Structure 1
Amino acid sequence: MNKRFYFRFFFILAALFMVIASFISLPYYVSKPGMAKELKPIIEVENGFDEQGSFMLTTIRMGKANIYSYLLASLSDYQEIYPLDAVRGEEETEEEYNVRQMHLMASSKQSAIEVAYKKAEIPIEYEYKGVYVLNVVDNMPAADKLQPGDRIFKINGHEFTSSEEFIEFVSKQKAGTEITLTYLRRGEEESTTIQVQPFPDDATRVGVGIGLVDDKELHVNPNVVIKTDDIGGPSAGFMFSLEIYNQLIEEDLTKGYAIAGTGTISADGKVGRIGGIEQKIVAADKAGAEIFFAPNEQGAKDSNYNAAIKTAKDINTKMKIVPIDTFDEAIDYLKELQPKK
């Protein structure tokens, strides 16, 4: 009787601890292997060509740590714990972090489209739409007027054509000058009047206190749609570019293989470093990928490629890890690849 009582007591106590632990947030993030997902259902080029194999994006799962997830990550292989300032910028809020991640995803899509269409020698038209607010600086004039995600497209009633033009106009104003900014927030047009002030860390410069990037739209024919839902960050850009290009050309570059990978992509086709390469190798292996493209970073000792090779050995995968520095390198590799039998 006593043994049953103590067993039930400790079971209830443990269950209660787990429930409470899941609600107590810690100043850390935990990341773990995510998924490897085929890109064909995500990317659709109008009247695009089919493929026998598949290109796959790879992801990690990242979330704020609670006591339970922290303890689990500390005892698990291929789960990582990061302090807040290693993930979010100094004084960056959760909202600003999420906005930044979604914008990085949007930018990666644009770069992937540029790279793929240029390689296929298909013209691209650009439509400039203003500047996109990434973050708002505390104790500056914009702090209680603008929000991350706002798109500013007019100053004093006049449209501007680049972020450089916006910054140049604002920086030429005298401290105390009022300017009117017109912007879109959740599809609604709004305006606000803001007084230009010196920056706290540099009194020689003036501004309104926002981090911004260009917001532009690409127009291509044939049209391409990329459905990423709530996936954020720039690390799928390189694989996007491969899938788009493969649908634009008649030759099937997959050759029947399941090909995963990761890496940022710039408009000039350079493939860049990403975070969580080890976890992405695990995700790709579980999904049955046969080839994995990893950023080579010009052969750096601590490159994504070298970390990927180590992880591949640790998990004893048969997946071939291929170092890549540019989009063109990947295309050359795929063109030389023998079709899967």
Structure 2
Amino acid sequence: MRKKIYIGSMILFSLLMIGGVFYSLPYYVSKPGMAKELEPIIQVEDGFDGKGSFMLTTVRMGRANIYSYIEAMLFDYEEIYPLEAILHDTESPEEYNARQLHAMSGSKLNAIEVAYKKAGITVDYKFNGIYVVQVIPGMPAEGKLLPGDHVIKVDEKPLTSSAEFIDYVGKKIAGDQLSFTVNRKNDTKTVNVNVQPFKDNPNKVGIGISLVDDKEIIVKPEITVNTDEIGGPSAGLMFSLEIYNQLTKEDLTKGYRIAGTGTIDSEGIVGPIGGIEQKIVAADKAGADIFFAPNENGNSGSNYQAALKTAEDIKSKMKIIPVDDFDDAVNYLKKLPMK
């Protein structure tokens, strides 16, 4: 009898342990990710090598289960966020992932444009359509278009920009039908969607999607950037520095391991990101000598200020350098002595 009770208790305990892993809580947990060298990821044709390295830094983000939630409560530099702090209104986890991957794509394009232009090289674009990032519930696109769909044509007309698409749809009236040529998981299909007024703006019609451009950048020498499943726009600054370093003879790394973070726009302006504290921890563990942090024009509570505090708390020897744009980072590196 006791043996049966013992076995039953062990089975119940095992089921509870397994359930704790697979039962999702209404929270996300983030923790320090990795600091990864960019040279293996970015390859400029016949590019120059550096003695040191530029590194992107990441944050590990995932839906909380019971164990990851408890772990985040107990350990420093692990954060808990309610779902609404991560997902947009009515956004699904799949839509969030699609948004992050497309944000990474946009970040890469901006970084390439900035680096090539700073190196004095012409940049051209080819527009290939739009990607669906989010579908608004209750609007006509729901159930017909999906996050990640690649829209190639509308009413058999190739798109030349997302702005053209928005203008074209905006000229329709409620009840008009649009025919979309869509590539979904390598399968091309036609999807028909009627336009209707938006509930919060009855004078405006649409189908209810958020979108981003699918643009191909055309440069010589050619470049490949392999980011796999890394999402988000926060590696933009470090991408641009690695690309520029491969394009120019002068080695900006000078033997140092240089980490950092920050979005970058097509003009080279560096923007703030989330999880700066966790990225400092990741870079310190990877042995970085220098860390570039968005300065936000010196505003209190900036990424740079948070990075300084974290580096001090963990007793890091990294130099934390504030940057507002691409030129700030390059000018700092040009003044560095060789390591």
TM-score by length of 2: 0.95
1:156, distance to aligned residue in structure 2 (A): 1.2
Task: Give ranges in structure 2 of 5+ residues lacking alignment.
Answer: none
Is 1:160 matched with 2:159? yes
Shift in alpha-carbon separation, 1:207–1:256, aligned structure 2, 3 A: same
1:159, distance to aligned residue in structure 2 (A): 1.6
Task: Report matched runs for 1:45-64 at 5 Å.
Answer: 45-64=44-63
Task: Give ranges in structure 1 of 5+ residues lacking alignment.
Answer: none
1:236, distance to aligned residue in structure 2 (A): 0.7
Aligned length: 336
Give the corresponding residue for 2:324. 325
Shift in alpha-carbon separation, 1:259–1:14, aligned structure 2, 3 A: farther
Give the corresponding residue for 1:219. 218
Cα distance in 2 for partners of 1:260, 1:8 equals 52
Q: Is the 8 A contact 1:18 1:68 kept in 2?
A: no
Cα distance in 1 for partners of 2:251, 2:293 equals 21
1:152, distance to aligned residue in structure 2 (A): 1.5
Give the corresponding residue for 1:262. 261
Residue identity opposite 1:149 in structure 2: G
Deviation readout 1:69-121 (Å, 9 max, x if unpaired): 10110011000000011111011001100100110011111011000000001
Give the corresponding residue for 1:83. 82
Cα distance in 1 for partners of 2:186, 2:244 equals 32
Question: Counterpart of 1:22 in 2: which secondary structure?
Answer: helix
1:188, distance to aligned residue in structure 2 (A): 2.4
Give the corresponding residue for 1:236. 235
Give the corresponding residue for 1:274. 273
Shift in alpha-carbon separation, 1:162–1:15, aligned structure 2, 3 A: same
Is 1:43 matched with 2:57? no
Cα distance in 2 for partners of 1:193, 1:304 equals 45
1:124, distance to aligned residue in structure 2 (A): 1.2
Task: Report matched runs for 1:8-19 at 5 Å.
Answer: 17-19=16-18
Over the aligned positions, Cα root-mean-square deviation in angstroms equals 1.9
1:212, distance to aligned residue in structure 2 (A): 1.1
Q: Is the 8 A contact 1:125 1:219 kept in 2?
A: yes
Cα distance in 1 for partners of 2:123, 2:286 equals 35
Q: Is the 8 A contact 1:51 1:252 kept in 2?
A: yes
Cα distance in 1 for partners of 2:229, 2:222 equals 22
Task: Report matched runs for 1:180-191 at 5 Å.
Answer: 180-191=179-190
Q: Is the 8 A contact 2:102 2:212 kept in 1?
A: no
Task: Report matched runs for 1:2-13 at 5 Å.
Answer: none
Q: Is the 8 A contact 1:128 1:216 kept in 2?
A: yes
Question: Counterpart of 1:144 in 2: which secondary structure?
Answer: coil
Q: Is the 8 A contact 2:127 2:161 kept in 1?
A: yes
